[in-house]
A and B are shown apart, each in its own frame.
Chain A
Amino acid sequence: MLTVKLFAKARDLVGSPIIQIPWSDGDTVGRLKLALSERHPSLLPLVPRLLVAVNNDYAPDSLKVRTSDEVACFPPVSGG
Chain B
Amino acid sequence: MILLTQDAIDYHALTESVRSPNSGAVVLFLGTVREMTGGRRTVALDYEGYPEMAQAKLAELETAARERWPIDRVGIVHRLGHLELGEISVAVAVSCPHRQQAFEAGKFLIDELKVSVPIWKKENWDDGSTEWVHPSGELPPPV
Contacts and interface: CB of A to CB of B under 8 A. Distances in A.
Interface of A: 5, 7-9, 12, 46, 49, 51, 53, 56-58, 60, 70, 72, 74-80
Contacts of B136: 49, 76
Nearest to B116: A77
A56 B56 CA distance: 7
A45 to B, nearest CB: 11
B134 A79 contact: no
A78 B118 CA distance: 8
B31 A7 contact: no
B69 interface: no
Interface residues of B, number: 33
Contacts of B40: none
Interface stretch (B20-28, B98-106, B119-127): B119-127
28 contacts: A7-B50, A7-B118, A7-B120, A8-B122, A8-B134, A9-B134, A46-B134, A49-B137, A51-B140, A53-B50, A56-B53, A56-B57, A57-B53, A74-B118, A75-B134, A76-B136, A77-B116, A77-B119, A78-B114, A78-B132, A79-B54, A79-B78, A79-B89, A79-B90, A79-B121, A80-B31, A80-B89, A80-B114
A5 to B, nearest CB: 7
Interface string B48-82: 11101110110000000000000000000010000
Contact of B48 (A8, A57, A80): A8
Contacts of B140: 51, 58, 77
A79 B113 contact: yes
Contacts of A12: 132
A75 B110 contact: no
Closest 5 CB pairs of A and B: A79-B119, A8-B120, A76-B137, A80-B114, A78-B133
A56 B59 CA distance: 12
A80 B120 contact: no
Contacts of B49: 79
